[in-house]
Structure 1
């Protein structure tokens, strides 16, 4: 694994989850076009996420769990730490 691969590999999960900035997405996309090994890892991760989403589609998260998650996000945000808005979108998609 090259230095670029090791660095960009750390971004794959965030990429699959749609949590990267536009610049990070472009950097990773360019790398995936040129690197079959990383592309394979990306495809595996994307497939796994799709399978989990499909298998859990009929399950609804308990309202207490959703409330706890949203409270933690609010606490995290109010502490002055940054987070991407897609995190909130992903959590609210549990409804």
Structure 2
């Protein structure tokens, strides 16, 4: 598999890219850095897999955060919290 330097990326190189991959997903990289990170992802299967996994996790979390729990569930959680607070204050 080709790499920018003509050899396989080292674990140390990939560790350096992990933070940049996260910042790429969050749209927090300068355009020049985006090009470098995308080039690395294109030539490094482990980093590509991390990139895909992180994007998937981020999408699931974003979708989950926009959903509202059913009112029965919210009521049960409130009751349990109140019961725990009573136990703590009596304990």
TM-score, normalized by length of structure 2? 0.59
As a proportion of its length, which structure holds more helix? Answer: 2
Deviation of 1:49 (Å)? 0.3
Match of 1:27 in 2: 36
Secondary structure at the aligned position of 1:18 is classed as: coil
1:7 to 3, 12, 16: 16
Deviation of 1:58 (Å)? 3.7
- 1:48 to 2:57 alignment: yes
Task: State how many pairs are aligned.
Answer: 59
Secondary structure at the aligned position of 1:39 is classed as: helix
Give the aligned CA root-mean-square deviation in angstroms.
Answer: 1.5
The structure with the largest alpha-carbon Rg is 2
Structure 1: state its 5+ residue gaps: 60-95
Please list every run of at least 4 consecutive aligned residues from structure 1 whose deviation after the TM superposition is greater than 3 angstroms: none
Deviation of 1:4 (Å)? 2.4
Equivalent residue runs for 1:75-94 within 5 Å: none
